[in-house]
Chains A and B, each alone.
Chain A
Amino acid sequence: MTLLLVQILNGVQLGLLLFLIASGLTLVFGVMDFINLAHGVQYMIGAYLGVACAGLAGNFWIGMLVASVIAGIVGLVLERCVLRFLYGRDHLDQVLAGSGVILATNELVRVIWGDAPLQMPMPALLAGSVPLMDGMRYPVYRIALIAAALIVAAGLTFAVGHTRAGMLVRAGASDAVMVRALGVDIGRLFTLIFGIGAMLAGFAGVLAAPLVSIEPSMGDNLLILAFVVIVIGGVGAIRGAFVAALLVGLTDTLGRSMATDAAKAVLSASASARVGPAIASMLIYIVMAAILAVKPAGLFPARA
């Protein structure tokens, strides 16, 4: 039973991390109709900056704060110098340019920090663990991560749902042309959305840094997962992204831990050792395909 609890906690944690990344992605796509492939490298930059800033400041918290802000700034610079020329362009052009950004940024990170994975030391305050079950302790940091992500998620939902800027964002996601026609400075709105999205992704990177291996291309697979999340959740919807992110996080985590065991019920041990992990990897895609088969526009699409 406690095994299941641990898996569920881990699934929620992965889901929340995905939500932080996917929320920026879905808003940018929903409001600005812009496929931002560069979002994955945003996460990676957050992690690397986290290591760098924490190292320079000698303190995790300062490092995290500074890194998130700088990541947001890097995102804005990227937007201003490269990506803004692609608004209104064909999605395919955005994909091509985004691919170029990914390739160049991954390589740049490699040039600056080298190929070997880096490590980010955990803050002393959160380095302990709490006993969850006999002999198994659950790291405090992960609990803190869940809490932090939930707070940010709540803040984001509130901002989008109950502020004027948030109202414009929702309106933009629903019908961007109309919003512009109503005289709203759409350029500033775009910049705001982009910057916040970039900062969220960078923040997610810093949060995840002590837990994962920090290396070039670390954002690529998460980018794919983030796209799965926004497609399942429905483009442009924060609520959809939240539900979908948790779904993906839980499916992936629980799937990985149970697939092989489930396979053992029908196959031999060595066969299930092969089939199990394959199915575990496929699981989120199967779920996504199934959801799209029934609801081709996702669970909670913002567009009418």
Chain B
Amino acid sequence: MRDRAAPIAIFAAFVLVPFLPWGGAYNLAVALMARAAVFGLAALSLDFILGVGGMVSFGHAAFFVIGAYATTILDANHIDGAAPVFATAAIASAFFALVTGAVALRTRGVNFIMITLAFAQMVYFAAGSLADYGGDDGYTLAARTTLLGRSVYYWMCLAILLTAYLLCRRVVASRFGRVLRAIKQNRRRVQALGFDAWMYQLVAYVIAATLCGLAGVLLANSAEFVSPAYGAWQRSGDLLIMVILGGAGSLHGAVVGSIAVVLLEEVLGRFTEHWRLIYGPLLILSVLYVRGGLAAMSAGRPGYLGRDF
């Protein structure tokens, strides 16, 4: 992680946004960047297992749902304290990741992609069947989680994102992280050296899930609304797009990717209702001409790590 300039620039931009002269568009600008921060957190956690660990999960949005519904169920029982809400979201996500990851991580390649999708679909349909919490129609929160009130929401999201980012960096740089990266490059060799690859990957998967579960709490509070749609496969696809567009493996790339996607959607959407006609080709062009994603573009050199899952 020699390149520090880009991550510092990104977080500096986040800090600056609420102080710039937006005029009438102030609320909108802050809301957009908050959304970018929340999705950035989820994308960051996905990049942790995908870019660093080589595990391409097509079901990451399931943890959004788990975190969001933890918030919902507690809200329905009039529990809004930050501590119980975050703790429940974290534990629920970790548990689900532990159980499903144990099974999923026995597979490789496209099979792993599909089995993570399968588990996410199960969460999605299960959430939709929860009639008490609105089922497919969703649920409006009666109250926001404490510490996430409207005036401080943006700063809390930023703080949590920054903490998660620093945590991920530390883990990747640690011995654990090195083993994880090694497994991605050559699993057999790592196993031969005596490491239980499956266990290392499972731990990483659980960590990523927990972070995404926290993002789910933040998402629930941003709209004060929760629905199973947070876990639709298209959402998992969106997270993948953010990670890959930003540059898989660089961690800060995931945040760049989420900012790019959130802003593009908003800006393009104002020009035309058919904004996807521009957005789609933009994605294709970025793949063809920008090796390593947006993060590599600003760093001026190819992507962070060799990728070959």
A97: contacting residue among B121, B233, B287, CB under 8 A: B287
Are A92 and B56 touching (Cβ within 8 A)?
A: yes
Give the distance to chain A from B130, nearest Cβ to Cβ, in Å: 8
Cα–Cα distance between A101 and B237 once the two chains are bound (Å): 13
Smallest CB gap from B131: residue in A: A274
Are A97 and B122 touching (Cβ within 8 A)?
A: no
| Per-position 1/0 for B240-267, Cβ under 8 A of A | 1100110010000000000000000000
- Taking the complex as formed, is B274 at the interface, i.e. its CB lies under 8 A from any CB of chain A? yes
Cα–Cα distance between A56 and B117 once the two chains are bound (Å): 41
Smallest CB gap from A232: residue in B: B114
Are B274 and A110 touching (Cβ within 8 A)?
A: yes
Cα–Cα distance between A91 and B110 once the two chains are bound (Å): 9
Cα–Cα distance between A105 and B274 once the two chains are bound (Å): 11
Are B233 and A104 touching (Cβ within 8 A)?
A: no
Please name all residues of chain B whose beta carbon is closer than 8 Å to the beta carbon of A298 when the two chains form the complex.
Answer: 111
Are A103 and B121 touching (Cβ within 8 A)?
A: no
Cα–Cα distance between A274 and B111 once the two chains are bound (Å): 30
Give the distance to chain A from B38, nearest Cβ to Cβ, in Å: 21
User: Taking beta carbons and an 8 Å cutoff, which residues of B are in contact with A?
Assistant: 50, 56, 103, 106-108, 110-111, 114-115, 117-119, 121-122, 125-126, 128-129, 131, 135, 233-234, 237, 240-241, 244-245, 248, 274, 276-277, 279-284, 286-288, 307-309
Please name all residues of chain B whose beta carbon is closer than 8 Å to the beta carbon of A91 when the two chains form the complex.
Answer: 56, 110, 309
- Taking the complex as formed, is A235 at the interface, i.e. its CB lies under 8 A from any CB of chain B? yes
Please name all residues of chain A whose beta carbon is closer than 8 Å to the beta carbon of B115 when the two chains form the complex.
Answer: 231, 288-289, 292
Are B288 and A85 touching (Cβ within 8 A)?
A: yes
Give the distance to chain B from A220, nearest Cβ to Cβ, in Å: 8
Among A153-161, A164-172, A278-286, the stretch in contact with B: A278-286
Are B279 and A103 touching (Cβ within 8 A)?
A: yes
Cα–Cα distance between A106 and B281 once the two chains are bound (Å): 12
Q: Is the interface of B mostly helix, strand, loop or mixed?
A: helix
- Taking the complex as formed, is A189 at the interface, i.e. its CB lies under 8 A from any CB of chain B? no
Give the distance to chain B from A92, nearest Cβ to Cβ, in Å: 5
Smallest CB gap from A105: residue in B: B280
Are A86 and B287 touching (Cβ within 8 A)?
A: yes
- Taking the complex as formed, is A175 at the interface, i.e. its CB lies under 8 A from any CB of chain B? no
Give the distance to chain A from B97, nearest Cβ to Cβ, in Å: 15
Are A289 and B281 touching (Cβ within 8 A)?
A: no
Cα–Cα distance between A103 and B237 once the two chains are bound (Å): 12
In which size bucket is the chain A interface?
A: 35 or more
Are A281 and B125 touching (Cβ within 8 A)?
A: yes
Also in contact, A282 and B122, with CB within 8 A (given A92-B307, A103-B276, A106-B276): yes
Cα–Cα distance between A292 and B240 once the two chains are bound (Å): 23
- Taking the complex as formed, is A293 at the interface, i.e. its CB lies under 8 A from any CB of chain B? yes
Also in contact, A278 and B126, with CB within 8 A (given A104-B276, A107-B280, A296-B108): yes
Are A278 and B107 touching (Cβ within 8 A)?
A: no
Please name all residues of chain B whose beta carbon is closer than 8 Å to the beta carbon of A89 when the two chains form the complex.
Answer: 287
Also in contact, A281 and B121, with CB within 8 A (given A96-B244, A228-B114): yes
| Per-position 1/0 for A172-196, Cβ under 8 A of B | 0000000000000000000000000
A231: contacting residue among B111, B129, B286, B308, CB under 8 A: B111
Cα–Cα distance between A5 and B106 once the two chains are bound (Å): 38
Smallest CB gap from A293: residue in B: B103
Which A-B residue pairs are the 7 nearest by beta carbons? A104-B280, A100-B283, A278-B129, A285-B118, A103-B280, A100-B284, A107-B276
Give the distance to chain A from B210, nearest Cβ to Cβ, in Å: 22
- Taking the complex as formed, is A275 at the interface, i.e. its CB lies under 8 A from any CB of chain B? yes
- Taking the complex as formed, is A224 at the interface, i.e. its CB lies under 8 A from any CB of chain B? yes
